[in-house]
Amino acid sequence: MNAPLDPATVSPAKASDAAGSAMPPPKALPLSAPTPFTPTTLQHGTGLLKADVYLDIHAGRPVIRKDYSRYAGSWLAIPARLLLHHEARILERLRHWPHAPKVIGQAGKLALLLEYVPGELLSEAADLTNPIAFAQLMAALASLHRSSIVHNDVRGSNIIMSRGRVVLIDFAAALYLPGGRLLRFLLRPLQRSDIAGGLKFKTRLTGEALTPREARLRRKPAWMRSLQRTWKRRLLPRLKRRLAPTGRRSG
């Protein structure tokens, strides 16, 4: 038989090991369940082929989820999917451009995950005077146009002021029109429309009035105003009425 350990002749390390072997093992602490995250709704897609937009979590970080899932099961899922892929392709072209969010990936066939850009929308900005932001916005639009891309929906709710950086969002209506005379012919008035959208904020952000040249640019060509008026007042309401029963069945 082994003789009992004599505390006087055993090293402290061995003594503690011997004492520890006689003690019951400590009980494992219960692991707390992770707190479930509820996505925050940022926008309800109330218009035709408009996405629901959520602040969500993906791979442990916040993302924006642009979701067309309410069209699942209806024929509108096809154009919604095309719209999603179109926006993703445009943003992939701009992945190194600092004024657009980056594409993270897809969540199913009808949801696009985008980089979360912290900040405030220009339409909701508390600081109304910001000449630097206006200069950066106009420079960003000029840079975008040099890449043969037009945003096509420049407004306050699509511009984020993020820590001194202007970021354009919602590229669903954006177009890439490279080369070719016909495409260049279309590109110029669309670029002018983008610039007009940016000039809308000059007085608000800088306190300065538009110059005569800027005032001319601010006015859209007559043919474009007529086309937009026809779309908004005649074609779009008819299309919405025709699609309303389909939307109710699929909702």
Q: Where do the domains of the chain lie?
A: 40-115, 120-241
Nearest C-alpha neighbor of 152 from the set 112, 197, 116, 205: 197
Per-residue model confidence (pLDDT) at position 251:
42
Answer whether 40-115 and 120-241 agree in fold.
no
Per-residue model confidence (pLDDT) at position 179:
74
What pTM did the predictor assign?
0.77
Query: Interior CA angle at 119 toward 115 and 121, to 5°?
Result: 100
- Provide the residue-wise pLDDT of the chain in tens; the chain has 251 residues: 555 545 444 444 444 454 445 556 555 555 555 556 788 988 887 878 899 999 999 999 999 999 999 999 999 999 999 999 999 999 999 999 999 999 999 999 999 999 999 999 999 887 778 899 999 999 999 999 999 999 999 999 999 999 889 999 999 999 998 876 677 778 888 999 999 999 999 999 999 999 999 998 888 777 777 777 786 777 667 766 766 644 444 44
Nearest C-alpha neighbor of 132 from the set 101, 100, 164, 156: 164
End-to-end alpha carbon distance in the chain:
81
Q: CA 242 from chain center: how many Å?
A: 30
CATH architecture of 120-241: Orthogonal Bundle (1.10)
Cα torsion for 134, 136, 138, 140, to the nearest 10°? -150
CATH number for the domain whose boundaries are 40-115? 3.30.200.20
